[in-house]
Amino acid sequence: MLNETNLQGLFVPLITPFDTEERLDLESFGRYFSSLLQYDIQGIVLNGTTGESPTVAWEEVGTLYKAARACLRPRRLPIIVGCGTNCTAESVRRSEAAGHWGADAVLAVTPYYSRPSEEGIIEHFRRIASVGIPVVAYEVPSRTGVALSVETMQRILDLDGVIGLKDASGGLALAAGLLPDCPKPILCGEDALLLDMLHLGAAGGMLASANVETASFLKVCAQVSEGNTSHAVETFDRLLPLIRLLFRESNPAPLKWLLARQGLLASGTLRCPMGPVSTAMQAELDAFLT
């Protein structure tokens, strides 16, 4: 299982491949995931935002978990499973199931849509953490509608069983407020802010863009760790156009199109209500490949 010490480095949130009928495409999943395993990434995330978690049934998450473990053999790589919902009881049930599967941690998002009080949110995380599987909290107010204060997030990180945070808060204020005094790791979840967060003391990143140019993202992390600031800036500046392109339209639509164009997926299909990228975006992504 993951802990506060080894939750660091580059974690890649996996996409969920579908065929043209919007069914799971396990053949593409195996090909795509195996291509990532040539890199020394520190872990993966199943059923996160990039994996289209709102439209993936829990039974399908179990299928993907088994497929991922099969691809990994004999290599051991941490798997974090997205288990957070806006229903505490369901999040607990999913976390228990992920623990039974052998997952190394769960990713639990701040409860969305219902806009609970901060005390309710803290209790939500406390109940998930009580399951016994390590919990990575996930703050992404652009999707949840609730932005937590530094003080509230610190109380969540103080909970036993919460081992760290994926910070996709959209800025640097949360990380800057937490990092000076927080003993638990914070991972950047805002791809374009990776370099800034690493300089603040973030332990790594959980980045959708790292599905492509994976080696360069690893290089940025290593260069910052080694104190090679100028080289890290150069490497990251070369990545920024790609990052901005991949988030020009809703993630993971551009990413899926690109992976399909590279031949790693049979189709860039997304599940409705997500739809394909625009023709203009396709042209820009195609230009990136050339």
- pLDDT tens digit sequence for 219-244: 999 999 999 999 999 999 999 999 99
Tokens of 268: 């860039």
| Residues placed in the known binding site for pyruvate | 50
Distance (Å, whole) CA 121 – CA 116 = 6
The verdict on pTM exceeding 0.85 is yes
Residue 30 reports pLDDT greater than 90:
yes
Candidates 40, 144, 68, 56; CA nearest to 94 is: 56
Tokens 């800025």 belong to which residue? 171
pLDDT of residue 138: 98
Dihedral of alpha carbons 135, 252, 193, 237, sign? positive
Domains by residue range for the chain, with CATH:
9-214 (3.20.20.70)
- Per-residue pLDDT of 91-145, as tens digits, reads 999 999 999 999 999 999 999 999 999 999 999 999 999 999 999 999 999 999 9
Catalytic residue among 32, 65, 138, 256: 138
Alpha-carbon distance of 257 to 212, in angstroms, equals 12
Residue 75 is predicted with a pLDDT of 85
pLDDT tier at 198, thresholds 50, 70, 90: very high
pLDDT of residue 289: 83
C-beta of residue 133 within 8 angstroms of C-beta of residue 169: no
Whether 113 is a known active-site residue: answer no
pLDDT, mean over the chain: 97
Residue 182: closest CA among 158, 204, 206, 160: 158
Q: Which of 32, 65, 113, 166 is catalytic?
A: 166
164 strand-pairing partners? 136
Amino acid at site 199: H
- Summarised one tens digit per residue, pLDDT across range 45-64 is 999 999 999 999 999 999 99
Active site residue 166: yes
- Asked whether the predicted pLDDT for residue 74 surpasses 90, the reply is no
